[in-house]
Structure 1
């Protein structure tokens, strides 16, 4: 018996003020798979992530999250099983790292009034903080954190609710190279610490793809350009088509890079000799 997919988008469309934002995209994500959602600005990535997070409803088509069809399920209950990592987290108060992580249990931005975490919840929060590489920083406050520390805090916040689906909305936004690599290392460890959790990561920079990425969906103008196993999908031809520009894509030691292609032919990739220089 085939396990129920964690996420299913079936021929979804979305229109806003008469404009077609999404035009017939389908996506199926199974437990343990880690998908990259790639495309240029304005391609419809954020709208698709809204479907995945049970936040936005399609104009037509079907969305099933964790086996539940949008429109036929209690959304508040469903969202407790979805972890969302957004670097634009709108926190208004100087909470500590531990307090921010605990809001993953209550599914709120700030600590709810008259809510006190149990001893077990506090232990879980500290365990998650250690998992993402922030041991000893549980009492550090949000305003004092670097962007990288905030990103890892938000991953811990998402994990504490024991989600089956993790959504990453351009998690490397605003990070320098070192902080980006630390964040990606944290994401990569989730394959070992949370092997059954599925994820969808949105970005338009190939360098921001974790090495644990298993699949990819490339979109442009609200339509699918290519989808499937990442190694076969994130290619020079597909990326060039999605971004409507000749881009040479390389893959080395589990990571992708991209640069403008200037050789003969519209999407020509550099040779191995060129890559060594």
Structure 2
């Protein structure tokens, strides 16, 4: 570990993490560390363990072996549900849990209690902060728009605004571009870039299948293969053709096509 990283406070530390699904070993001794000031992409083929790693970090699935230390607290020695309130989560899967008639503003307000559904809110809500969070994501105009009529890209921005209600120390983005057309995807990535550029903003963990979605502010990449770490480190070192060919099980070429954006092409 270099001297510069030693001087940073560690946001997340995963040590020799093992996770089972039934009798199957899903995660096989994961070692990974995220320091303040870093933003990470998590890459890998379907079934490599990305979702299982997130579930372990959030304590939705118990680890069989290993240690997880998150925001200075060690798993098993702290109230993890309470700690989750400091972690924002954005996933296209969550869209189906929002009532169709709920407005965008109500969805953001539900973030105060870290529970979906405006019915779960407390009697005193911070409407001004909710509008500010929508403004930060460039979608304040949608405040009174019903969930049912929002596009997928708009919903993802509202979800991030909702996560910001808790002033999270970490924001997990689980394949947030799923279902977006190319134009909507690029517009959404612009919003993420602005969030990553905030001096006091959250550490981002960006889960994706697509190298093309890794925006310039992502500084590091974790690559998983069959439940193991295949590569982890500075983006420029990990986004390498041979390594990603192994990760995806087919020959590919990875290249920087300019402005610190990358693409992967099957050979």
Q: What TM-score comes out, normalization by structure 2 length?
A: 0.92
Does residue 1:99 correspond to 2:106, yes or no? yes
**Equivalent pair of 1:53/1:167 in contact (CA under 8 Å):** no
Which of the residues 62, 81, 86 maps onto 1:81?
86
**Equivalent pair of 1:33/1:197 in contact (CA under 8 Å):** no
**Equivalent pair of 1:163/1:197 in contact (CA under 8 Å):** yes
1:147: how far off? 0.3
RMSD: 1.5
Does residue 1:175 correspond to 2:172, yes or no? no
Does residue 1:158 correspond to 2:163, yes or no? yes
Residue 3 (structure 2) aligns with:
none
Secondary structure in 2 matching 1:108: coil
Residue 254 (structure 1) aligns with:
260
Secondary structure in 2 matching 1:150: helix
1:43-76 C-alpha deviation (Å, 9 max, x unpaired): 0000011123332221110011111111111122
Unaligned runs of 5+ in 2: 1-5
Residue 25 (structure 1) aligns with:
30
Pairs within 5 Å for 1:3-14:
3-14=8-19
Structure-1 separation of matches of 2:121 and 2:136: 28
Q: Segments of 4+ in structure 1 off by > 3 A?
A: 1-4
Structure-2 separation of matches of 1:259 and 1:122: 46
Unaligned runs of 5+ in 1: 262-277
Residue 195 (structure 2) aligns with:
190
Structure-2 separation of matches of 1:183 and 1:234: 22
Count, aligned residues: 259
Secondary structure in 1 matching 2:140: coil
1:196: how far off? 4.5
Residue 275 (structure 1) aligns with:
none
Pairs within 5 Å for 1:113-124:
113=120, 115-118=122-125, 121-124=126-129
1:93: how far off? 4.2
1:113: how far off? 4.9
